[in-house]
Structures are given as structure tokens and as C-alpha cells.
């Protein structure tokens, strides 16, 4: 596991690379240098890796943020709730998919600002990959789940997904984010998480489509090598 820590002002981001049953995900432990409280984004698969990060950095998790409720992004939620009594934040559109105590689950709205102890988080609802997919901007760091990868974007092969909505979500991010914002996606395919938006703009072809129909046609093309074949 990479224990590299990326500092943006007082914000500390620790990527956690977790794997199970063919899934390879990136999750993140986010905190500030002057607080022991931590926010966990998309906890999945390997609890011991999170516990190691928390112990090394002397942190206590108080919040969990979910970019969406696909199992590979949330299957440790109950363990974090039971062990640390964290609050769990998720889009109202996907709240009912959480199999945990309702008293600790909170929902947010688009552009809402969440105060997570010393961290301020701006929520961007970015539907497409799933109905309630969301991204979280904390300082100059965007946690983009399966909406935006460094090299591509989320798949839309599920009945509840929408390539049309995904196009609008990516367009919104492209118009909203400054070029120095660092992108931390839920999966890595080539480049490591933490590349700047400027780098993504230059290397991600899905940000170059000007017409929605062209984006949808390419994202949904039938001659992909696999679901995550971006080019």
C-alpha cells in the first residue's frame, strides 16, 4: 500500500488502494494537520488498510462520504458505523441502498457545503454512472468516484445509468473546476490519483466532446475491448 501523503495547505489526503474479487479501488482518508478527525471516502474491501492509516497518522474517523452506492465503494460502511459511530453522507437518490442504521445516514443536495469537523466539503451531484453519483471538493482536491477518471469516465451499462446525464456532469466539472484542482478517482488505470485538472483536460478524451450525441455514441460504442476500454 502506498502511504504517500499529499498536502494541500493544511489538508492531508492519504490514498488507500484496496482489492478484492477482481475489484481494484481507490479510497481516501482525508484530514487536516491540526485535527485528529478524519473523513473516509468510499470505504471498501480491506478494513485493515484503513486501520493502519488511521493508527500511523493518529486519526479517528468521524464521517464517511459516498460518491455512490455500488458495492465496491461502500461495502465497509457498516463496519465503520459499528466500530467508530461515524456519520455517513450519501445522495438522497441512493440513500435507501445503504444497509445500515438510518440514524447515522445523512443526505446532501447539489452545491451544498458540508462542515466535517475542520474540513469544508462542497458537494457536486454528478449523475450518469448512477442516479446519485456525486463528487466532493475539499480544498483543491476533487474526489470523483466513478464519474471522472484520469483517463476516462464511468460506464453507463446499468439500467439506472445515463450517458446523457454523464455528459452533462462531465461538462459541469470541466466548466467549474480550476486547472490546479487535483483529481482523486475511485479507480486507477494508468496515471496515479492526484493529477491536476489541467493534466486530465490534456489526457482525457471524454472532456473533448463538444456535442452530447457524439459523447453518448462513443461512450456506448459496441466495439470496446472491455467495459473500461476508454479509447
In a domain, 142, yes or no: yes
In a domain, 115, yes or no: yes
Q: Which of 16-25, 91-100, 118-127 has the highest mean pLDDT?
A: 118-127
Q: What is the pLDDT of residue 138?
A: 97
Give CA–CA dist 91/125, Å, rounded.
Answer: 8
Mean pLDDT to the nearest integer, 8-32: 88
Q: Which tens digit of pLDDT belongs to each residue from 121-170?
A: 999 999 999 999 999 999 999 999 999 999 999 999 889 999 999 999 99
Give CA–CA dist 188/229, Å, rounded.
Answer: 13
CATH of the domain at 109: 3.60.15.10
In a domain, 42, yes or no: yes
Q: What is the pLDDT of residue 224?
A: 66
Q: Name the band, by pLDDT with cuts 50, 70 and 90, for residue 94.
A: confident
Q: What is the mean pLDDT of the chain?
A: 90
Mean pLDDT to the nearest integer, 49-68: 97
Mean pLDDT to the nearest integer, 14-36: 91
Higher-confidence residue of 190 and 63: namely 63
In a domain, 40, yes or no: yes
Number of domains in the chain: 1
In a domain, 1, yes or no: no
Q: Is the pLDDT confidence value at 175 over 50? A: yes
In a domain, 230, yes or no: no
Q: Is the pLDDT confidence value at 59 over 70? A: yes
Q: What is the pLDDT of residue 2?
A: 40
As a whole-number percent, the residues of the chain with pLDDT over 90 amount to: 77
In a domain, 2, yes or no: no
Q: What is the pLDDT of residue 9?
A: 56
In a domain, 75, yes or no: yes
Q: What is the pLDDT of residue 3?
A: 39
Q: Is the pLDDT confidence value at 70 over 50? A: yes
Give CA–CA dist 130/19, Å, rounded.
Answer: 22
CA distances from 185 to 57, 60, 115, 124, 227 (A): 22, 23, 22, 14, 17
Domain that holds residue 213: 7-219
Amino acid at each position: 500500500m502506498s502511504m504517500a501523503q499529499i498536502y494541500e495547505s493544511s489538508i492531508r489526503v492519504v490514498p488507500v488502494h484496496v482489492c478484492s474479487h477482481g475489484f481494484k479501488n481507490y479510497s481516501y482518508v482525508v484530514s487536516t494537520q491540526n485535527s485528529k478527525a478524519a473523513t473516509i471516502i468510499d470505504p471498501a474491501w480491506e478494513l485493515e488498510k484503513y486501520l493502519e492509516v488511521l493508527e500511523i497518522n493518529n486519526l479517528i474517523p468521524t464521517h464517511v462520504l459516498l460518491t455512490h452506492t455500488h458495492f465496491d465503494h461502500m461495502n465497509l460502511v457498516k463496519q465503520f458505523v459499528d466500530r467508530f459511530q461515524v456519520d455517513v453522507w450519501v445522495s438522497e437518490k441512493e440513500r435507501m441502498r445503504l444497509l445500515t442504521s438510518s440514524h447515522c445516514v445523512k443526505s446532501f443536495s447539489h452545491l451544498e457545503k458540508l462542515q466535517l469537523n475542520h474540513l469544508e466539503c462542497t458537494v457536486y451531484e454528478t449523475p450518469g454512472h448512477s442516479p446519485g453519483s456525486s463528487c466532493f471538493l475539499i480544498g483543491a482536491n476533487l474526489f470523483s468516484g466513478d464519474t471522472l477518471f484520469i483517463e476516462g469516465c464511468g460506464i453507463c451499462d446499468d439500467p439506472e445509468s445515463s450517458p446523457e446525464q454523464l455528459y452533462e456532469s462531465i461538462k459541469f466539472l470541466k466548466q467549474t473546476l480550476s486547472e490546479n484542482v487535483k483529481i482523486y478517482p475511485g479507480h486507477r488505470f494508468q496515471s496515479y490519483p492526484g493529477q491536476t485538472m489541467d493534466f486530465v483536460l490534456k489526457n482525457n478524451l471524454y472532456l473533448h466532446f463538444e456535442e452530447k450525441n457524439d459523447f453518448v455514441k462513443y461512450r456506448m460504442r459496441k466495439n470496446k475491448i472491455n467495459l473500461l476500454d476508454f479509447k
